[in-house]
Amino acid sequence: MSEAKNSALSEEMILPKPDDFHVHFRQGESLGAYVRSSAQWFGRALVMPNTLPPVVDAGSLDAYRKKITACLPESLDFIPLMSFKLLAGMDAKTVETCAAAGAVAGKYYPAGATTNAADGPSNPGAVSEALSAMESAGVVLSIHGEDPDAPSLEREAAFLPALEKILDRWPRLRIVLEHLSTREAVDFVAKGPERLAATITAHHLLFTIDDMMGAGLNPHLFCKPPIKSAADRRALRNAAFSGSPKFFFGSDSAPHARAAKESARAPGGVYSSPTAIPALLGLFESEGALEALKPFVASSGARFYRLPAPQGRLRLLREPWTVPGEIDGIVPMCAGSELAWRLA
């Protein structure tokens, strides 16, 4: 980390402005707060399309991008990277017009796999025309890799054979397996071709299933895919700390109202935009992996997506702070805990 004073005693850390390759900004009145929170920490973010209504064509993509940029004050340089949601039967023309409108990814949500995914395809064959068009246009396939028919904790591993088939059938398609949560998925991506990469979240690197439900149930750490065992977390950390260009950061920051999260049927999603970067800095530092932080949050993803290197800098200070119980009306990741680093 060339610009950073990275000795254990330094009081300041300067990073290239990180990229977040997986974020949920939602639609509606809270959109602005989520966008501004993200833009304080990130120079670009890949915006997920599972909004209500969803982003499914060039018109909805363009309208959503305009809403996002309209929320930004001039002082914040932030580029939303747009994606669209793959729907069964989507034709090549729709993909081509989305690509022309600036889409960098099309998102595959297996039907019923997560929040607002009831309308997803039930198998890759249902979106074959769209996947071929994405392959030709150089649009990345972003995958929520869980098989909803498998038991909850086995859904990610159970999806891997389907991913193998997609890799075989579309030999030039570039693919990102999102929010890895298991050893099996880490191994699969590591051994796969160069055109297969993966995002890893902060919460899957920081926590285990016991933080979520080992003592009292903490619905604010419940997400899809669920956070798993210490052995899975070890594999994820090894991948993130390896400096491999195949593994990069995507927060999967997914705000849900406190009342919904604390209800009898909590939706999945961890709101991590406001705390992910200082928490990751603390983790990489304490694990002796600071050298890997810059590629993980600020260059490997951009390279995979064929984007220019990040512009701008992010300055953090070693000044412990206690994360508030609510930010933007949502209980954030690490609420109530102390983080060693804060935004300068």
Q: How far is the CB of 178 from ligand NCD (least distance, A)?
A: 7
Candidate list 37, 60, 94, 114; residue touching ligand NCD; CB under 6 A: 114
**What does the per-residue mask of binding to Zn ion show for 233-262, with x meaning CB under 5 A?**
-------------------x----------
**CB of 94 or CB of 142, closer to Zn ion:** 142
Residues in the chain: 344
Catalytic residue flag (residue 91): no
Residue 182: name its binding partner from ligand NCD, Zn ion, none (Cβ under 5 to 8 Å by kind).
none
The amino acid at 282: G
Any contact of residue 144 with ligand NCD (CB under 6 A)? yes
**CB of 106 or CB of 295, closer to ligand NCD:** 106
Residue 268: name its binding partner from Zn ion, ligand NCD, none (Cβ under 5 to 8 Å by kind).
ligand NCD
**What does the per-residue mask of binding to ligand NCD show for 230-259, with x meaning CB under 6 A?**
----------------------x-x-----
Q: Which residue in 102, 89, 162, 185 sits closest to 131, CA to CA?
A: 89
Residue 32: name its binding partner from Zn ion, ligand NCD, none (Cβ under 5 to 8 Å by kind).
none
The DSSP secondary structure of 315-331, one letter per residue, reads EEEEEEEEPPS-BTTB-
Candidate list 6, 30, 97, 115; residue touching ligand NCD; CB under 6 A: 115
**CB of 156 or CB of 252, closer to Zn ion:** 252
Residue 115: name its binding partner from Zn ion, ligand NCD, none (Cβ under 5 to 8 Å by kind).
ligand NCD
Phi, psi of 59 (to 5 degrees): -65, -50
Any contact of residue 33 with ligand NCD (CB under 6 A)? no
Query: Cα separations (Å) of 233 from 44, 168, 262, 287?
Result: 26, 29, 26, 13
Phi, psi of 321 (to 5 degrees): -145, 155
Candidate list 223, 236, 298, 316; residue touching ligand NCD; CB under 6 A: 223
How far is 212 from 227, CA to CA, in rounded Å? 8
**CB of 212 or CB of 290, closer to ligand NCD:** 212
Residue 50: name its binding partner from Zn ion, ligand NCD, none (Cβ under 5 to 8 Å by kind).
ligand NCD
How far is 141 from 83, CA to CA, in rounded Å? 10
Helix 128-137, helix 92-100: angle, nearest 10: 40
**Burial grade of 161 (CB within 10 A; 0-12, 13-18, 19 or more):** exposed
143 SS3 class: strand
Q: Catalytic: which of 57, 168, 252, 328?
A: 252
User: Which residues is 314 bridged to in the sheet?
Assistant: 15
Query: Cα separations (Å) of 262 from 23, 251, 257, 265, 326?
Result: 22, 22, 9, 8, 13
Q: Which residues are catalytic?
A: 252
Residues that bind ligand NCD (CB under 6 A): 24, 50, 114-115, 144, 223-224, 252, 254, 267-269
Residues in contact with Zn ion by CB under 5 A are 252
